[in-house]
Amino acid sequence: MIVNRMSVLMMVALAISFSVSSAFGVALIDLGADEIPNDVSADGVVVSGNGGAGGFIWTSANGKNTVGNVVKGVEHNAGTVWLGGNVGANPDANRWDGNVAGVGAWTALPLMSGRDWQATGIGVASDQSDVWIGGYANEDDPNTGPYKSAGRYKESVNSTAQYSLPGGGHDNSYFYGTSNVGNFSGQYQHGGSAPSGGSRQAMVSNGTNLPPLIGASHTSNEGSSYAISSDGDVKVGFSSSPLAFGGGKCQATYWPDTNTATAIPFVAGSSQEWARAYEVNGDGTMIAGRDYNFGTAASIWWIWTSTGGTQAVSSYLTGLDVDLTGWDAASMRIEGFADDGSVLVGKGDKPGGSVHGWVLPDALFKSCNVPFADADGDTDVDQIDFAALQLCYTGSGGTASSGCECFNRNGGVDNDVDEEDFAQFEQCATGPNVPYDDQNPPAFCTPGDGTLP
């Protein structure tokens, strides 16, 4: 055993301050009024956003720390945090390098062809060999007037570059999405006369047009890509094809490659006339966006998954047993995913009309940790985890409370957490600050695979 029987009373005392919901989680973490997240690192460790004091980062270990300026995206690897953002009224693209405690500094990025430019997102190679920041420059042509020009910063060469547009393209191009492999997605102006003639069309950074849902790009249809998956494969946004939708109406779209546009089904209860996708996880299996009804001016914020289709964000959260008490359920929207979808960030309305940012962290989202006995997700199995087990313990023939399912190791046979389950817990014990090693697990430990038993 990891504790003797005389220690049980001490563990129960500790458990008084350790609720089942805090171990498994059903409540969103409220970041506060007008403290709005806009991104989460690929590994789910660091959340970025903007609030009353400017940009911030948030981690479960360090809470929220102000970093200033306007943050546009975040990445994290081995304790190092990178931010892309903008400084000043122009504004000018900058990067921030620091740690998870919010200690770091902003650095101005090189101008883009001698001009100010704005950052829209950041990507970092998995081996930290390069950093990319996407965005657009503010251009001014004496013949056609002001316009925007898509470009990027690349750390390894410490320089910026603008990109060639697809055939028929001119002016007003933007990169909105930045991947972790150095490519980008956005939009450009297609056909017609510069600077604003023609129509916007979706594109990627190799100069390739992303096709609309119907037909080829032309001045009577439109499209844009607002985000790209971390692996660079899936682009998301919208496509508007009058032949299909009429009146300039549009449908949320994803592009799994540069040749194929795929419609994301409208969410149930929508007017099925206007929808756009704004967020995507690491491999394109989770996408979030908005459906708008012109007649009622009402929005439905939705999430699409490759296994569950399209549903309202509020329905998705309640399906995860998230408690939305005190939130306006219809206003709940997603602003970012961890690569594996195990961490969500977003915002929603509270009574009185205030808008609050929220985080649904990893421990709240996964079915079970691996090993199952690591209730608090800190990689070891110790007395803290035993305290959670004590709260869940029912004895033979009992019924485990919601949130205790991971401790019921023979869930297909009974609904209790009893001596048999306790025995399996003991077999996975490591002791304090001794990480579980799946290559060399404790003898007889059956860790589980993260799914409910």
Q: Which residues contact 300 (CB under 8 A, 6 or more apart)?
A: 267, 269, 270, 290, 291, 293, 312, 330
Residue 14 pLDDT: 35
So where are the chain's domains? Answer: 1-26+369-453, 27-365
Residue 117 pLDDT: 95
Residue 20 pLDDT: 39
Residue 422 pLDDT: 95
Could you report the per-residue pLDDT of 164-200, keeping only the tens digit for each? 999 888 888 999 999 999 999 999 999 887 767 889 9
Encoded amino acid at 29, one letter:
I
Residue that the structure tokens 């504790």 belong to: 3
Of 215, 216, 233, 235, nearest in space to 225 by CA = 235
Rg (CA), the chain: 24
- Say how many CA atoms lie within 13 Å of 239 toward its Cβ: 26
Of 295, 284, 231, nearest in space to 253 by CA = 284
Q: Report how far residue 358's alpha carbon sits from residue 345's, in angstroms, rounded to the nearest whole number.
A: 6
Residue 22 pLDDT: 39
Query: In the chain, which stretches have pLDDT less than 70?
Result: 1-26, 140-146, 195, 242-248, 362-367, 402, 412
Q: Which residues contact 392 (CB under 8 A, 6 or more apart)?
A: 20, 400, 401, 403, 404, 407, 417
Q: Topology of domain 27-365, per CATH? A: Methylamine Dehydrogenase; Chain H (2.130.10)
CA angle 119, 121, 123 (to 5 degrees): 125
> Whole-model pTM?
0.77
